[in-house]
Structure 1
């Protein structure tokens, strides 16, 4: 046999990554592992290498559902055959392509059978192939939302349920989910993030000796994969034996109540909302003990499990990366094991001390902000993640409708319609044609235009917009949104933050927002018009200003009339807008509200909003 998989035991360093993968092999019910890190850090290599050391499973050759011997799926013709005999086979390793259709993932009507006799036979998909094995997703953070929803349902129930095209089918779909991702490409939806039992952050080694060894091994493998794999046969077999022993030991591994209390204590102290964390830590601690050949869980096992289970589940501020403070973890371990009474009071003190610093970034409750519906009067941006579009050219297929000239043929529905009419010989006519109806979503560009002139409210505006942008960027990864900021003061406006979803770039540009000077409002609206003209994303313009323009674009012009003209141009272009009036004092001119009327926008007083519910209001507007 020619080996094409890099040996698991030959991976240099990355001990935590290898441990996480081995724990998932010992106990597949852990929920899999998410591997995060930069490009070229052996994420995919490690995931694929795991399959070569997993103990084989028993299955019937040709079974599309990977049925458990002795308990076959009721509709599996292969396993229910009287002569079917299971045999040892490698653990399934199924790769889920980012471009896979929902039909390919969950399964669909077998068109070949339908064409032959009109019968409705289910053709299993990737979830059936991954049963009792590994479902691997490279760049899982780029997975389309409709596939994420499918995975969440299957991972939660361990069953794939298909009810479509006249079919009503359910089959087992228990798999270990392994996903890799690069943070530069965005983060995961919280629901999917929590489904991963373990999370590992990987980085390239900084030691030149280790880096050289990585290169040396990779070059040797590529030159002759089979010969290189042969050099690691002993180490690979040792890992197989270790896993087989651990799987046998696992049912008898004990975790006492004191350590269960420790697990719950750590989850509470790190402000983990999901109870799945407690369950996975319990399982991971036992699996770790079994992997080390022990039958009792120790505090060291719990601590090691916490480093894999809690980083991606603990509550974080915007831009705070996943991870655990090792010193805090050590202190909590000692407090829980030695002085439980003091631990409780210490936690309250720490929360109180940290509470105020988190207020700037905390998300407001939904009831704290008014709900705003921003319409798209022209419809220019009706195509396309966040904005739901009915009958979109791309997206999730929700139904099929009769259409004699379909732009997207619903093959299953068309064939079913023809088959039910019972023509002899079988034929499809125009009257049988159905069109796919899709629901798509599109990202948004949220453009903040911020008055930074030297008014009394300048500092308040800056605090509000900075908090809002930072808060919005925390979910921009999941929504594929972009955020941009235009600041205007002095003689002109500038694009302070170009459209971005990058956390690092946003921090660099928003660290300091200068204030002071005059109010070049026409320049700001002109820059906004030019910025939005360069994007294909549906925009939302958020203007924070008192409207007191005093710097014209052209000498001799009235700054206020210029501002109104640009507002009208934006309205004619169909740009949804929101105006936040920053005017203060007893006497108010109401210029911001006049500007909102010209924009066709709603106007709110900034004093009604904090940074938290400003972010919430903008989310609702999108």
Structure 2
């Protein structure tokens, strides 16, 4: 038994977004982002109980509508099929689900017993007319997320595999939850979710107390607790049913439609999907409130749910987290017939069922090892003209760089690309093997080695590009740090396409520090690198040690190929804790990284007239190329890194 939706304490925006999509699944689903323990999953699971029941052809594995029978549905082919009413399907898509389990596949039983090809429905068929729920959607395989969002947008699932080519209706309410601390979604995936809600745990003591009180009562006696809230549940269910009937009659004036598009333009929202989602959401808000006409406040509430995740924060001068700015924009674009100010409704003024319950430049002269330097913190610096790139190759690679993107066709991981005949397969393609036997002889059902097939899998591997940057006062550290920041942001612009992640370690003073954990999120990088401290000595050994730890932590759970970019003059003067020779420790740690087959690039930033040449020795220890930049800017650094990571 699930916790009653009406008993949720607080979280008005979350409840509102879920109810809106329950009334109008065409909005495009909801993505709920928040920390652990913020009722994300509880709210989603409780929603199904208050949604009106559905009708389907009795026994249909595709949940076929009575007026939309499906040719491949066995129940629909019966001459005496009947209609049955069932609770809204709630389908949980596990992270480990395979593509054939999600989309559907060849029914092996049909091949073996009936000697004919037919579709075995997947989870998308089971979710038709219901809810498809994905917990931790940000951890789901990219190809599955892409397929899911395509189906959710089209309302049709097309299966073209194993000799099948079948399409069936798959209209469902897509709900995903995620903890941003565990990784982000690609922007193109994020845009496909109609609404996004960010939730946090309540900070009010009274509210937190009520959450615990209700939860303990539910766990002690779930049935009694459910009966206590049955009245609220029925009222909410009736409200949803009424809103669905009212929705087709809701009117949105042309002036308000212009207001929607102008608001999206003013907030630098590029995707036209935003305008469409706002249109649908505003009309659904009116229907949920029992009105036939959309108001400016409906536009305001729709903007808060549909625009924040689509806004280009880098270029926008306003942010939707600033509600005052949103009100100003709305007032500026208010149609003439709405001459009064658009007063925002508080959360408590939403429909009653929504609010039930309460849930300094450097001279280039290196400092003395015994003289501590003052540290500085700087923000953005203006970029400089692109300088000349001078390369000084120290060694030639004898193999393909580990950081180069590749196709993994010799592994049992990845997506199934095709099946090939193989008398001794290591990854048996069951379907192709059975098909081969069946097609060879339908009467004599025997398997021979000639029937065996090997699964060929493929999957792009991304790079982990880790910058290790000298932020000490031994050179013009401030401009170097800013160049790296610009390079990181540039790389992240297409990191989503290449499946790459980028991180940054800075070392100064007595230790190294992870300024940016490996990420694909441009916004996260901008926030983490907003202020970049510099100054102090050069703890190069600790930087290499920390780089090894970060690479190990990041790559042990995936297929990312590490690529280390070290910017330093090689003048290590701070040993690891416990003492020792800093330079010898540096060479030792660099050798260990090379033995781990970690590709690397060393950028010599020594600006002294008499160079010590330590970066060349360091590059040899790392097994890396060593390049010298005449001058440093984000543009030249980006071009240099890309030429190494993406040589083709």
Cα deviations by residue, 1:165-214 (Å, 9 ceiling, x for unpaired): 11111111121110111111111111221111111111121111111111
Aligned residues of 1:310 and 1:324 also touching (Cα < 8 A): no
Q: Does 1:460 align with 2:466?
A: no
Equivalent residue, structure 1, for 2:424: 405
The 1:526/1:510 distance shift into structure 2, 3 A limit, reads: farther
Match among 220, 223, 243 for residue 223 of structure 1: 220
Aligned positions of 1:556-567 closer than 5 A: none
Q: What is the CA distance between 1:469 and its match in structure 2?
A: 5.0
Equivalent residue, structure 2, for 1:514: 534
Equivalent residue, structure 2, for 1:354: none
Q: Does 1:605 align with 2:626?
A: no
Quick one: distance in 2 between partners of 1:42 and 1:184? 17
Aligned residues of 1:113 and 1:120 also touching (Cα < 8 A): yes
Match among 412, 417, 428 for residue 393 of structure 1: 412
Equivalent residue, structure 2, for 1:614: 638
Quick one: distance in 2 between partners of 1:463 and 1:574? 29
TM-score (norm 1): 0.82
Equivalent residue, structure 2, for 1:243: 240
Quick one: distance in 1 between partners of 2:515 and 2:476? 24
Provide structure 1 residue ranges, at least 5 long, that are not aligned to the other structure. Answer: 341-356, 363-369
Q: Does 1:99 align with 2:96?
A: yes
Q: Does 1:277 align with 2:274?
A: yes
The 1:117/1:558 distance shift into structure 2, 3 A limit, reads: closer
The 1:360/1:430 distance shift into structure 2, 3 A limit, reads: farther
Quick one: distance in 2 between partners of 1:440 and 1:463? 34
Cα deviations by residue, 1:387-441 (Å, 9 ceiling, x for unpaired): 6423323121111122222222111001001111106431112221112122235
Equivalent residue, structure 1, for 2:441: 422
The 1:61/1:382 distance shift into structure 2, 3 A limit, reads: farther
Q: Does 1:326 align with 2:323?
A: yes
Equivalent residue, structure 2, for 1:448: 467
Cα deviations by residue, 1:291-321 (Å, 9 ceiling, x for unpaired): 0000000001000111110111111349x99
3-state DSSP of counterpart to 2:469? strand
Q: Does 1:145 align with 2:142?
A: yes
Q: Does 1:134 align with 2:131?
A: yes
Aligned residues of 2:562 and 2:599 also touching (Cα < 8 A): yes
The 1:202/1:612 distance shift into structure 2, 3 A limit, reads: farther
Quick one: distance in 2 between partners of 1:223 and 1:552? 59
Provide structure 2 residue ranges, at least 5 long, that are not aligned to the other structure. Answer: 338-377, 384-390
The 1:509/1:192 distance shift into structure 2, 3 A limit, reads: closer
The 1:527/1:33 distance shift into structure 2, 3 A limit, reads: closer
Aligned positions of 1:473-622 closer than 5 A: 479=499, 481=501, 483-487=503-507, 494-497=511-514, 500-501=517-518, 511-517=531-537, 536=556, 538-546=561-569, 549=571, 573-583=596-606, 599-601=623-625, 603=627, 605=629, 607=631, 609-610=633-634, 614=638, 617=641, 621=645
Q: What is the CA distance between 1:485 and its match in structure 2?
A: 1.2
Q: Does 1:173 align with 2:170?
A: yes
Quick one: distance in 2 between partners of 1:287 and 1:545? 58
Q: What is the CA distance between 1:464 and its match in structure 2?
A: 2.1
Quick one: distance in 2 between partners of 1:173 and 1:427? 37
Q: What is the CA distance between 1:80 and its match in structure 2?
A: 2.8
Q: What is the CA distance between 1:466 and its match in structure 2?
A: 3.9
Equivalent residue, structure 2, for 1:69: 66
Moved more, 498-507 or 452-461: 498-507
RMSD of Structure 2 on Structure 1 (CA): 4.1
Quick one: distance in 2 between partners of 1:381 and 1:523? 24
The 1:17/1:558 distance shift into structure 2, 3 A limit, reads: closer
Aligned residues of 1:472 and 1:615 also touching (Cα < 8 A): no
Quick one: distance in 1 between partners of 2:161 and 2:41? 34
Quick one: distance in 2 between partners of 1:68 and 1:264? 36
Q: What is the CA distance between 1:448 and its match in structure 2?
A: 2.1
Cα deviations by residue, 1:490-549 (Å, 9 ceiling, x for unpaired): xx7x432288348989977984432255x67678667756876786463211021355x4
3-state DSSP of counterpart to 2:533? coil
Equivalent residue, structure 2, for 1:367: none
Cα deviations by residue, 1:334-353 (Å, 9 ceiling, x for unpaired): 1112799xxxxxxxxxxxxx
3-state DSSP of counterpart to 1:205? coil
Aligned residues of 2:318 and 2:325 also touching (Cα < 8 A): no
Aligned residues of 1:199 and 1:309 also touching (Cα < 8 A): yes
Quick one: distance in 2 between partners of 1:254 and 1:98? 41
TM-score (norm 2): 0.79
Q: How many residues align?
A: 584
Match among 96, 105, 108 for residue 108 of structure 1: 105
Aligned residues of 1:486 and 1:528 also touching (Cα < 8 A): no
3-state DSSP of counterpart to 1:51? helix
Quick one: distance in 2 between partners of 1:165 and 1:60? 27
Aligned residues of 1:317 and 1:361 also touching (Cα < 8 A): no
3-state DSSP of counterpart to 1:312? helix
3-state DSSP of counterpart to 2:459? strand
Q: What is the CA distance between 1:6 and its match in structure 2?
A: 1.5
Q: What is the CA distance between 1:229 and its match in structure 2?
A: 1.1
The 1:360/1:272 distance shift into structure 2, 3 A limit, reads: farther
Aligned positions of 1:349-360 closer than 5 A: none
The 1:165/1:580 distance shift into structure 2, 3 A limit, reads: same
